[in-house]
Amino acid sequence: MSETSFGTLGVPAPLVAVLTAQGIDSPFPIQVDTLPDTLNGRDVLGRGKTGSGKTLAFALPMVARLGGKLSGGKRRPGRPLGLILAPTRELATQITNALTPLAEAYGLNTTTIFGGVSQGRQVSALKAGVDIVVACPGRLEDLMKQGFVSLDAVEITVLDEADHMADLGFLPVVTRILDKTPSSGQRLLFSATLDNGVDKIVRRFLHNEVLHSVDEATSHVSAMTHHVFEVDGVESKKALIEKLASGTGRRILFMRTKHHAKKLAKALTEAGIPAVDLHGNLSQVARDRNLAAFSAGDVSVLVATDVAARGVHVDDIELVIHVDPPAEHKAYLHRSGRTARAGSAGDVVTLVLPEQRRDTDALLRKAAIKVTPQRVNADSPAVAALVGDVAAYVKPLPRTEQPQRQSQGGRSQGGGRSQGANAQRKRDERDSGTRGGRDGGRGRSGDSVPAGGSARQDRAGRPAASGRSHSPQGNGGAARTGQGSGRSGGLQVGGLVRGAGSTGGARRSAPRRAQG
């Protein structure tokens, strides 16, 4: 019996050539199962585990059909022919990277749409005309409401990671988007599970669909080895984290919060282990930069929140570490799926404090993971076996002192000795002893003069305005009481002045007479 190839499954020769150039010769099971139906235009519901090759399972038929049977006609601004919805920016970017070489083989162009960045370039790409859009639901709906994109010409719609869409609360938006696509178009939905409302999407939008399920929803990769390391306390855990991160190969450390991910990446870097963080508080530019550094091997450690558990595919990740065990079993499987991808082997370690043992046991049971916990420390043989060769110490870059910025008039910003003319005059007065007493300089009366006898002047050399105003409110003194321009009598916060008369919902006492 001959081995199944992309060509025998019906994939056109131009796309087979692109795959061959990338070293992809043999299809994965989910591709073998779904390609005959998707290439023939059937609606398909595909269920497969993380790292099973789902991206090519829908990218190949989309390009083959849009470049073949459905091709023709002039490209129209803001009216794509293919639409792929993904839950996260990282997944959308990964899909685009896999899709673009295939699309170029047929002269099709693609664009990616997601939030967190300016919409200017996305709008420009849509106006220029685009064949396939890979989008996150939120930003796509925004652009639809603004009239920059219409989905009435979409021939093929793909919904990837539908279960994660449900977890993030995106299904109402997804439903509104799918309602705008032609009901006669082909629809492909890929999801690990059919819970949390995904089944409603299937019943409403897929017609005469074919179900292809390669694995159970809770299945894990057979080439993945799981470890549970129990530690005595926080300090032992810190030492163990640093030891596990010190190997030469790529590894991802998962945290529950953005703050702790940033803090751990910084601590590892300062310990001579270069690390970058990936979480929702980073701008898209920073996320792309950090992920690129990790992918290129400039750093071998990525510290991430669950934002990286979906869609981030970097080759040869040898170790995934659950520094903070996840809240539920699906998150555990998706985190762990960053290793042992595409047939490669990998290890997954979960670090457990004494108070986390019961919850971790329950989580692993739901994930159908059978593993015997080990009590370890940083020097244990089991830890050394996972670390392997230790990477060379990398001296962290020295922290640079921020230079003081000078604003107009010479005043320094950010602390230090002020160089303004008024401050210099006051220092001169103190040094010369001319300010003998409390009233020797600037007196309590606005008409007082310094001890030297000459009237005060401002920086421009003009006579200074009178000192303290005791005008009643509403008699020309409003500006001095915080009721007028707000230059005084208010609270300055972050460079903004909040006047005493501003409203904030709280009861305020009657404004008092200004004292200066």
- pLDDT of residue 346 exceeding 90: no
Superfamily of domain 224-387: P-loop containing nucleotide triphosphate hydrolases (3.40.50.300)
pLDDT in tens, 286-300: 988 998 899 889 999
- Residue pLDDT, tens place only, 418-451: 556 666 777 777 776 644 444 444 444 444 444 4
Model pLDDT, residue 197: 79
The pLDDT score that the predictor gives to residue 49 is 66
Average pLDDT in the chain: 80
- 268: pLDDT strictly greater than 50: yes
User: What's the pLDDT band for 360 if we cut at 50, 70, 90?
Assistant: very high
Phi, psi of 76 (to 5 degrees): -110, 140
Show the tokens assigned to 49: 């585990």
Instruction: Kindly indicate the confidence band of residue 283, based on its pLDDT and cuts at 50, 70 and 90.
Output: confident
Name the maximum alpha-carbon separation found in the chain: 110
In the predicted model, is pLDDT for residue 233 greater than 90? yes
Range name among 151-155, 220-224, 278-282, 356-360 with the lowest pLDDT average: 220-224
Q: Tokens 């673009």, residue? A: 100
Instruction: Determine the pLDDT at residue 469.
Output: 44
The predicted pLDDT at position 338 comes to 79
Residues 317-351 as b or e (16 or more Cβ within 10 Å = b)? bbbbbbbbbbeebbbbbbbbbbbbbeeeebbbbbb
User: For position 214, what pLDDT does the model report?
Assistant: 75
Answer whether 13-213 and 224-387 agree in fold. Answer: yes
Reported as a single tens digit per residue, the pLDDT across 39-53 is: 999 999 988 766 678
Q: Which of 9-18, 119-128, 190-199 has the lowest mean pLDDT?
A: 190-199
Distance CA 152, CA 87 (A): 22
d(CA 11, CA 27): 11
User: Which residues are registered as beta bridge partners of 224?
Assistant: 346
Distance, first Cα to last Cα, the chain: 95
CA 262 to each of CA 272, 327, 472: distance values in angstroms, whole numbers, following the listed order: 16, 20, 53
**CATH annotation of 13-213:** 3.40.50.300
Task: Pull the structure tokens for residue 247.
Answer: 């190997």
pLDDT at site 206: 92
Give residue 429's pLDDT. Answer: 73
Q: Which residue has the higher pLDDT, 455 or 260?
A: 260
Reply yes or no on whether the pLDDT at 491 is more than 70: no
Q: What is the rounded average pLDDT of the residues 92-106?
A: 94
The reported pLDDT for the residue numbered 397 is 82
pLDDT at 428: 75
Residues 414 and 429: their CA atoms lie apart, in Å, by: 25
Domain boundaries, the chain: 13-213, 224-387
Residue 456 pLDDT class (50, 70, 90 cuts): low
pLDDT in tens, 387-425: 999 999 998 887 665 555 554 444 444 445 555 666 677
Residue 514 has pLDDT above 50, yes or no: no
Report the pLDDT averaged over residues 333-347. Answer: 76
Higher pLDDT, 118 or 216: 118
